[in-house]
C-alpha cells in the first residue's frame, strides 16, 4: 500500500464533553499511513479527546471519523487508571486484548524489552515507580502491534536513558505514530507534521515540517494576525471619527456617514479573533512558613531499590526460568536542609525516588528528622493528594478555610493559573492532567509551607508555563527537594546539593 494513503479522516467533527463545553467544532484533517505526527494544543484544549475519538471510546456529536477497514489502533495513555493499580503486570497486559492470549508470557517479555523494562510479571502495578509505569504503558500499546500508535505524554517520568530509548524506537517505527508531548526536543527528533488544536476556534490545523519549524510558523502567524488587527483597529478608529464628523454636518454628508459605517462593519468582520494559545499563567509566589528556622530536615539514611536476576538451577532435568526480584538496601547519607536550601534528588527509574519523597512528606522516612511544626507541601506526580471527587473550588477553599481570604481573592488567585469560573465548578477527576498540575500549583501557593517537595512538577505542563513555575520555585524562601528529569527546568533553579541514588547501585 502507498505510504501516502489516508487511513484516518476526520470530516467536520464536532464534540462536546457536556452542554456548553465544546472540544471540537467541525474539525477536519487526514492522517496518512506511516506518518509521525505531533498533536499540539494548550492544556485542556482536548488533545486526549481526539485520541479517545480515534479509539472509538468517544463518539462525535456530528460529522464522521473514517478509519480504513482492518486498521488496528492502540494507545499508551498518560497515566494508569486507579482501578488498574491493583493488577499484576501480567493482568495489566492481558487487559490489552479482547480475547485470551495463551502465549502471552513471551509477548510480554518482547514488549518490555523494547521499552527497556525488566520486572517480574507478578509484580503489582502500584508497586512500580512513575518511570516504570510510563514504560509499562508504552509496552501495553506495543504488545498489540498496532497499525496506528497513539502516545499521550510518553516521556513523563522517564529518565534520560528512557527518553533516548523511546526516541530511537519511534524514529525506527514503521507504522503510523501520533504523539502528544510537551518535550520539544523529543518531538523534534521524529516529527514530520503537526496537528494543532486551537482552544479558541475548536478546530484542527495541519502543518508539515519538524516540530521547531511548525512552532515558529505558528508564532509568525499569530504575530501577523495581531498586526492585522492593529492596522484594522487604527483604520476603524479613523473612519469612526470621520463618520461622526459627517453625521453632525447634515445634508448629503449624512449619507456619506451611513456608507462609512457600513464600511466600518465590514472592516470589523475582517478582524481575526485573537487566539488564546499564547496565554500563560500569571507570575506567582509560594509564601514561606514564617515561624520556622534552623535545620528544617535532616536525613541520615535512604533506602534504594536494586533489581536482580538470578539463575534458577534446573531440577529433575527440567529447565527453570531465571528469578527476578528486588532488594531494598539502606545506605548512609548526610543531608541537612535549612531555609533556601535546595536538594535535587536523582537516579534511574525504579530506584526509589518517589517512595522516598512520599515518606518524607508523611514523616515516615527512615533516618529522617524534621523540625517540629514544619509545614510540608507536596506536589505529587499523580495528584492523588487532590480530592478527585470534589470540584476545583472545593479543593482550593479547603486550603483557605479559616484564613483571611475572600471568595473574590480566591477566584482571582485561581484565574492567575488559567482556572476560570467554569473550571472552578469542574471536578478534579474530569480535568486534563495539565489542568490538574495547575490546580496543584494554585494549591501549594496558598499553603505557606516551610518545606516544598516536588516530584516531576513539569509533567503534563504546557511549556509556556514552565519558566514562570521555575521562577516561583527558585524564589521560594523555604527548603526544597526536587525530582525532575527535565534538565532545562532544573537549570532555571539554583540547586545547592544533589543526592544521586544511582551512585549506590
What mean pLDDT do residues 431-445 have?
92
Q: Do domains 6-72+146-216 and 336-504 have the same CATH topology?
A: yes
Task: Determine the Cα–Cα distance for residues 505 and 305; give it in Å rounded to an integer.
Answer: 9
Average pLDDT for the chain: 85
pLDDT band for position 34 (cuts 50, 70, 90): very high
Which residue is associated with the grid cell 532435568? 317
Whole-model pTM?
0.69
Domain ranges of the chain: 6-72+146-216, 336-504
Which residue is associated with the grid cell 482552544? 199
Do 115 and 138 form a contact (C-beta atoms < 8 A)?
yes
Nearest Cα residue to 15 out of 34, 2, 28: 28
Percent of the chain with pLDDT over 70: 89
Task: Determine the Cα–Cα distance for residues 426 and 376; give it in Å rounded to an integer.
Answer: 27
Helix, strand, or coil (residue 441): helix
* pLDDT tens per residue across span 105-161: 989 998 888 888 888 898 899 888 888 888 899 899 989 989 999 998 888 777 788
Nearest Cα residue to 130 out of 476, 460, 478, 504: 460
As separate numbers, helices (DSSP H) first and strands (DSSP E) second, the chain gives 15, 17
Percent of the chain with pLDDT over 90: 39
Hey, what long-range contacts does 78-82 have (CB within 8 A, 24 or more apart)? 78/48, 78/137, 78/152, 78/153, 78/156, 78/433, 78/460, 79/133, 79/137, 79/382, 79/433, 80/125, 80/133, 80/136, 80/137
Task: Looking at the structure, give the CATH architecture of the domain made up of residues 336-504.
Answer: 3-Layer(aba) Sandwich (3.40)
CATH topology of domain 6-72+146-216: Rossmann fold (3.40.50)
* pLDDT tens per residue across span 445-473: 999 999 999 999 988 888 788 899 999 99
* pLDDT tens per residue across span 234-286: 777 777 777 777 777 766 666 766 776 777 676 666 555 545 455 789 999 99
* pLDDT tens per residue across span 84-95: 889 999 999 999
Give the rounded distance of the alpha carbon of 493 from its chain centre: 20
* pLDDT tens per residue across span 347-388: 888 888 888 898 889 887 777 888 889 999 999 988 989 999
Amino acid at each position: 500500500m502507498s505510504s501516502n494513503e489516508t487511513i484516518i479522516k476526520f470530516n467536520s467533527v464536532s464534540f462536546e464533553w457536556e452542554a456548553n463545553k465544546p472540544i471540537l467544532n467541525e474539525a477536519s484533517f487526514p492522517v496518512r499511513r506511516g506518518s509521525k505526527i505531533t498533536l499540539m494544543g494548550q492544556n485542556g484544549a482536548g488533545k486526549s479527546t481526539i485520541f479517545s475519538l480515534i479509539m472509538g471510546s468517544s463518539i462525535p456529536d456530528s460529522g464522521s471519523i473514517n478509519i480504513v477497514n482492518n486498521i488496528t489502533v492502540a494507545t499508551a495513555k498518560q497515566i494508569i487508571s486507579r482501578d488498574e493499580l491493583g493488577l499484576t503486570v501480567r493482568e495489566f497486559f492481558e487487559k490489552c486484548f479482547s480475547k485470551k492470549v495463551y502465549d502471552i508470557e513471551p509477548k510480554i517479555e518482547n514488549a518490555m524489552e523494547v521499552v527497556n523494562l525488566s520486572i517480574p510479571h507478578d509484580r503489582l502495578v502500584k508497586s512500580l515507580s512513575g518511570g516504570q509505569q510510563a514504560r509499562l504503558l508504552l509496552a501495553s500499546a506495543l504488545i498489540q502491534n498496532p497499525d496506528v500508535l497513539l502516545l499521550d505524554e510518553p516521556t513523563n517520568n522517564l529518565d534520560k536513558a528512557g527518553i533516548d530509548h523511546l526516541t530511537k524506537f519511534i524514529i525506527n517505527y514503521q507504522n503510523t505514530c501520533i504523539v502528544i508531548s510537551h518535550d520539544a526536543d523529543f518531538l523534534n527528533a521524529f516529527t514530520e507534521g503537526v496537528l494543532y488544536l486551537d482552544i479558541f476556534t475548536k478546530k484542527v490545523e495541519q502543518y508539515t515540517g519538524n516540530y521547531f519549524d511548525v512552532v515558529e510558523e505558528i508564532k509568525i502567524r499569530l504575530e501577523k494576525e495581531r498586526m492585522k488587527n492593529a492596522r484594522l483597529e487604527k483604520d476603524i478608529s479613523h473612519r469612526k471619527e470621520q463618520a461622526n464628523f459627517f453625521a453632525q454636518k447634515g445634508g448629503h454628508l449624512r449619507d456619506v456617514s451611513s456608507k462609512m459605517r457600513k464600511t466600518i462593519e465590514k472592516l470589523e468582520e475582517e478582524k481575526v479573533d485573537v487566539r488564546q494559545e499564547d496565554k500563560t499563567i500569571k507570575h506567582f509566589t509560594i509564601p514561606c512558613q514564617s515561624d520556622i528556622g534552623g535545620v528544617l530536615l535532616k536525613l541520615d539514611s535512604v533506602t534504594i531499590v536494586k533489581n536482580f536476576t538470578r539463575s534458577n538451577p534446573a531440577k529433575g532435568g527440567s529447565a527453570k526460568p531465571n528469578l527476578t526480584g528486588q532488594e531494598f538496601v539502606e545506605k548512609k547519607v548526610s543531608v541537612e536542609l535549612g531555609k533556601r536550601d535546595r536538594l535535587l534528588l536523582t537516579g534511574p527509574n525504579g530506584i526509589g525516588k518517589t517512595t522516598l519523597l512520599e515518606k518524607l512528606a508523611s514523616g515516615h522516612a527512615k533516618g529522617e528528622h524534621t523540625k517540629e511544626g514544619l509545614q510540608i507541601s507536596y506536589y505529587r506526580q499523580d495528584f492523588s493528594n487532590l480530592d478527585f471527587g470534589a470540584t476545583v473550588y472545593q479543593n482550593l477553599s479547603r486550603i483557605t478555610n479559616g484564613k483571611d481570604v475572600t471568595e473574590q481573592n480566591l477566584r482571582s488567585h485561581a484565574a492567575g493559573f488559567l482556572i476560570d469560573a467554569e473550571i472552578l465548578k469542574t471536578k478534579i477527576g474530569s480535568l486534563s492532567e495539565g489542568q490538574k498540575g495547575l490546580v496543584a500549583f494554585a494549591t501549594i501557593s496558598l499553603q505557606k509551607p516551610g518545606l516544598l517537595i516536588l516530584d516531576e512538577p513539569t509533567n503534563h505542563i504546557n511549556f509556556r508555563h514552565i519558566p514562570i513555575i521555575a521562577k516561583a520555585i527558585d524564589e521560594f524562601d523555604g527548603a526544597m527537594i526536587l525530582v525532575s528529569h527535565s534538565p532545562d527546568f532544573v537549570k532555571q533553579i539554583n540547586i545547592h546539593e544533589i543526592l544521586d541514588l544511582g551512585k549506590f547501585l
